[in-house]
Structure 1
Amino acid sequence: MSQYAYPRELRLLTPAHFQFVFNQPPVKAVSQHLTLLAKPNQCSHPRLGVTVSKRNARLAVQRNQIKRIIRETYRLQQHKLAGFDIIVIAKLGVTELDNEALRELCNYLWRKLSKRCKQYSSA
């Protein structure tokens, strides 16, 4: 079994990194509860940023759990997403999903985003 890590290099760390993706992202994957935005970067690996606002998940415990699940699914799917900066935005109602449903939704969106990133790169 392959080992996938989530080191510092695979994260969007500064507001400038986030703003880079927010400005005209060419690739998107959207669902009722999550939105994924992606933009090609200069690295050979993907980088992830996650935003869960207080408005969408009141309790810090809920926000942290949502972020933890998103990061874990990303960690397992990162090899399919080379060279893109990705931001995951949680929407209102994301707290209504149980952990397994959120995992399935994330996995579905990662597959969808991966396909769209490959199409964008080849065009």
Structure 2
Amino acid sequence: MNSTRFPRTARVRARSDFDRIFKHGRRVALPVLALHFQADDSIAPRLGLAVSRKVDPHAVGRNRIKRVLRDAFRHVRAELAGGDYVVVARPGASRCSGEELRVAFHSLLKRGGTRPALALPATAAPGTMPAASPSDPTPDSGPG
């Protein structure tokens, strides 16, 4: 079985579940996304998405945001604590690229991480080089 699938059991779908998470869950937010989550170790992590017409009046734009967020969730689902996660897109999300949305989503997960299983490991910023070890010769040191 492919572990990157997004089955129905991995989705928050019922209105009552959304209401429960909004009312009793914790919330962290950025200008483009907000994350509401309620931890429950007895269930696998589930994702709910709320992308309204205020975010983008065109269905194509709303669906792009949802597709990017579902994909980002698929890749980190195994690292997350059990519970329900609802991501609410804000109007600025329609102007973000897919990579910017992924970074915002990961940032929300890290900011909301009060438990080690929820916090994701820090990744190196793109374009940075790893630190040179002391035994490596420096490029400007040459003979003589």
Aligned identity (percent) is: 28
Q: Please provide the CA RMSD for this pair.
A: 2.0
Residue 14 (str. 1) matches residue 14 (str. 2) = yes
- Residue pairs, 1:1-123, within 5 angstroms: 3-25=3-25, 27-41=26-40, 43-113=42-112, 115-116=113-114, 118=115
In structure 2, C-alpha distance between the alignment counterparts of 1:30 and 1:64, rounded to whole Å = 21
Q: Say which structure is richer in helix.
A: 1
1:42 deviates by 6.4
Greater CA drift, 72-81 or 102-111: 102-111
Q: Which amino acid counterpart does residue 88 of structure 1 have in structure 2?
A: V
**Structure 1 residues 41, 59: CA separation in 2 closer, same or farther (over 3 Å shift)?**
same
Greater CA drift, 104-113 or 12-21: 104-113
8 Å CA contact 1:10–1:46 kept in 2: the answer is yes
Q: Which amino acid counterpart does residue 10 of structure 1 have in structure 2?
A: A
Computing the radius of gyration from Cα coordinates, the structure with the larger value is 2
- Output the TM-score relative to the length of structure 1: 0.83
Query: Structure 2: 5+ residue runs without aligned partners?
Result: 119-144
1:111 deviates by 3.0
Q: Which amino acid counterpart does residue 75 of structure 1 have in structure 2?
A: R
8 Å CA contact 1:11–1:48 kept in 2: the answer is yes
- Output the TM-score relative to the length of structure 2: 0.72
